[in-house]
Amino acid sequence: MSNLINRRRIAEGVYFSNITDSRYKTNLISVCFFSQLDAETVTDMAVVSNLISKSSAEYPEYRALSNKLSRMYSASIYSSVSRMHDLLCVQFSANCLDDIYALSGEKLTDEITDILIGCLTRPVTENGVFTGKYTDLERKTVIDNIKAEINDKHSYSTTQALKTLYEGEPAAVSPNGTIEKAEQITPQSAFDAYKSCLETMRCEIICVGCNDFCATAEKFAKAFGKINRHDLKSCEIKASPLKAKTREVTERMKVNQSKLVLGFKSECDDFRAMDMFRLIYGGTPNSKLFLNVREKLSLCYYCAASYNDLKGSLIAYSGVEFENIEKAREAILDQLETMKRGDFTDEDIDNAVNSLKNDYNAVEDNTSSLARWYFGQIIKNDVITPAEAVQRYTDISRERIIKAARSIKLDTVYVLTGMEEQEA
């Protein structure tokens, strides 16, 4: 483990990490609960994340908490739900100016820690459950978020493609859940989900800033020491198996631009070589997909690829005109074949490494990106710094990249296109 991050267990299934760096002027405290993605409970958790980040017993009205944070030099508390491989991540974060910059010597880090712990452990309740007023409000917020995802056709097409790519696996579940599930949420079901989160989900706390966070660690240890942590939920991540036959799905709705997503699977365990392949294939403006499918052939508006190492999957996504869907598909697959033949240059490899260096150097630009980095490293059980990660890419040979490319097989083809094309 890197000596930059100091991680230790502070309660059953609860780990506290801190990264202290004098370059930062603000402090971030981020609490993330992890569990297996489950279609039956994920929507409740999306509502819960909103409910308990906006109020507490000490600040029972949304406005009261907002006003308090404004007086703390515009400190903030916010939440999110996201998918990490097969896992649901329910995250609560607080951001504040470091104490040394407070005009009157306020202990801002201690204060924001107490407020965040209050939100997490002392939510606003009514008759032992969440209030109907706020539950209804946040239930509607989640429904609006789901509808907004549908309106963003790039995000929607990727989400729908992943449902087919990971069919039958936790990773197929959307972290926001469904409108149907959201409409069924009650104050009781939301409170039950909250209790399950606090008592049974694995928890990682990461603090980043110029504070040493010793007092913060003690406060969280004391708070979680009062919680009956039991029957901790599984956080297993499995590689996704290749389908016996390529699955093809076409969905139609009113769209101005068709979307084409190709999903691939690989059993290659050389993750660094696979990531280098992804960069050369479709990860940079110098990639095969960008220069050839988009620029040279003009078959799409955008064309790129992303790689999920723990799931062993890769997707190539593009925005195309209806009449170019099949041509684009053929061209994307053709560029994969060129990679399998080793038809790429040493300059392509150097460009990929330089792109990684730029990306990893940017990780430490702010506290949030650095926290996200370490959450990801902890889940992979391989905690290294961004600089150490770069070193692992400097000696990857052409042969390793070609071997990685040859392991890739087409699993899923998803097309989102317009209603008028169906009529044609």
Burial of 40 (0-12, 13-18, 19+ CB in 10 A): exposed
* Cβ-based neighbour number of residue 253 at 10 Å: 11
Please report, for the chain, the start and end positions of each structural domain, with discontinuous segments joined by +.
Answer: 6-225, 247-423
**pTM score, whole prediction:** 0.93
CA 69/CA 62 separation, integer angstroms: 11
pLDDT for the residue numbered 53: 95
CA 339/CA 159 separation, integer angstroms: 27
The string of pLDDT tens digits covering residues 378-414 is 999 999 999 999 999 988 999 999 999 999 999 999 9
CA 424/CA 415 separation, integer angstroms: 16
CA 34/CA 20 separation, integer angstroms: 24
Dihedral, 218, 223, 226, 227 alpha carbons, nearest 10:
-130
The string of pLDDT tens digits covering residues 215-248 is 999 999 999 999 999 999 989 999 999 999 999 9
The string of pLDDT tens digits covering residues 206-216 is 999 999 999 99
- CA 358 centroid distance within chain: 20
State the DSSP code for 77.
E
pLDDT for the residue numbered 336: 98
pLDDT for the residue numbered 355: 95
pLDDT surpasses 70 at 121: yes
pLDDT for the residue numbered 422: 53
pLDDT for the residue numbered 354: 94
CB hemisphere CA count around 249 (13 angstroms): 20
CATH for 247-423 is 3.30.830.10
Q: Name the CATH superfamily housing domain 6-225.
A: Metalloenzyme, LuxS/M16 peptidase-like (3.30.830.10)
- CA 237 centroid distance within chain: 14
